[in-house]
């Protein structure tokens, strides 16, 4: 079950998508989409910190995962090749702003602060919150139990603010999820908070984590997951949003989530039904 505020946010995103579609033709063209077509390649930043979102296939050493599948399909639908660039939470915004990547599909949910410095395809492709991982004997039974305790996160995580301000945790930020989880195993923190699908898959499938659990029934601030572009790049924004809407409309997105071991959220199921019904 998702909060009313989340559905409001998704509704606003769809409204923004409609406005973007209506006015994109009149908007001043941005150069990124032209460059993508001229060089016949789109460069997309992805995080390869573990399944289901992104990791290296041990057999091929090639990137695989949900975000990788999305990036590959973006390129396919634009009729260009894709260049996947690994990023970290600590550098993903800089990579986009500095032009090292054309877009981000990198576990970066929509927040007011991020939307002030970047643009994004308004239609979300998922709703993702944070889960807490801790030792099974930690005694943590609610988010409130974190008050005054050290909690590991990634640098740039949108979970930092609610953990500190709402729950009084002593937040310790690390370069990325692997470093944060290593710190947890080294007893530098009593818990770590990262995207829920990754942590739940970790404790369910990886025997190295048999002494750990994701004990809390609710996720931290479930938020729309979107594709990010540089501020003001309306042509690129509109082109990517049309792709995301078609993912929902066709049911392709649901299939890709399930292929990667994910359970589509109710918000995504609702978007699929809404956009499918609008098909003419």
Mean pLDDT in order along the chain per 10 residues (280 residues):
45 49 46 95 96 96 98 98 96 97 98 97 98 98 98 97 98 96 98 98 97 98 98 96 98 98 95 88
The model carries a pTM of 0.88
Q: Is residue 41 located within the same domain as residue 100?
A: yes
- Residue 191 is predicted with a pLDDT of 99
Contacts of 77 (CB under 8 A, 6+ apart): 243, 246
- Residue 29 is predicted with a pLDDT of 58
- Domain total in the chain: 2
Q: State yes or no: cis peptide before 124, omega within 30 of 0.
A: no
Q: Is residue 75 located within the same domain as residue 99?
A: yes
- How many Å separate Cα 88 from the centre of its chain? 12
DSSP for residue 67: H
Q: At which of 174, 195, 221 does a domain end?
A: 221
User: What is the token pair recorded at 172?
Assistant: 């310790």
Q: At which of 221, 247, 265 does a domain end?
A: 221
Q: Is residue 243 located within the same domain as residue 115?
A: yes
- Residue 113 is predicted with a pLDDT of 96
Q: Is 270 within 8 Å of 245 (Cβ atoms)?
A: no
Contacts of 66 (CB under 8 A, 6+ apart): 52, 53, 54, 256, 257, 260, 262
Element (DSSP H or E) covering residue 16: helix 4-23
Q: Is residue 50 located within the same domain as residue 109?
A: yes
- Residue 12 is predicted with a pLDDT of 53
Q: At which of 176, 205, 221 does a domain end?
A: 221
Q: Is residue 136 located within the same domain as residue 184?
A: yes
Q: Could you tell me the maximum CA-CA distance found in the chain, to the nearest angstrom?
A: 59
Element (DSSP H or E) covering residue 171: strand 170-174
Q: Which domain holds residue 157?
A: 129-221
Q: Is residue 148 located within the same domain as residue 119?
A: no
Q: Is residue 243 located within the same domain as residue 201?
A: no
- Residue 279 is predicted with a pLDDT of 74
Q: Is residue 193 located within the same domain as residue 251?
A: no
């Amino acid at each position: 079950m998702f909060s009313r505020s989340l559905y409001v946010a998704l509704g606003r995103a769809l409204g923004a998508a409609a406005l973007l579609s209506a006015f994109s033709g009149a908007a001043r063209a941005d150069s990124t989409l032209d460059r993508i077509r001229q060089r016949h390649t789109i460069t997309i930043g992805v995080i390869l910190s573990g399944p289901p979102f992104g990791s290296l296939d041990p057999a091929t050493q090639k990137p695989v995962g949900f975000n990788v599948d999305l990036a590959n399909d973006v390129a396919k639908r634009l009729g260009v090749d894709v260049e996947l660039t690994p990023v970290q939470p600590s550098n993903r915004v800089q990579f986009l702003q500095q032009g090292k990547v054309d877009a981000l599909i990198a576990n970066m949910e929509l927040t007011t602060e991020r939307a002030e410095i970047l643009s994004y395809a308004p239609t979300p492709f998922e709703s993702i919150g944070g889960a807490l991982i801790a030792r099974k004997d930690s005694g943590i039974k609610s988010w409130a139990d974190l008050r005054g305790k050290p909690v590991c996160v990634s640098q740039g995580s949108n979970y930092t603010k609610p953990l500190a301000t709402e729950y009084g945790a002593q937040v310790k930020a690390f370069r990325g999820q692997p470093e944060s989880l290593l710190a947890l195993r080294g007893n530098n923190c009593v818990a770590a908070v990262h995207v829920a699908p990754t942590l739940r898959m970790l404790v369910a499938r990886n025997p190295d984590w048999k002494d750990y659990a994701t004990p809390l029934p609710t996720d931290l601030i479930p938020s729309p997951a979107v594709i990010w572009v540089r501020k003001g790049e309306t042509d690129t924004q509109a082109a990517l949003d049309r792709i995301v809407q078609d993912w929902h409309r066709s049911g392709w997105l649901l299939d890709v989530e399930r292929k990667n071991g994910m359970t589509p959220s109710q918000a995504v199921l609702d978007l699929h039904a809404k956009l499918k019904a609008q098909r003419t």
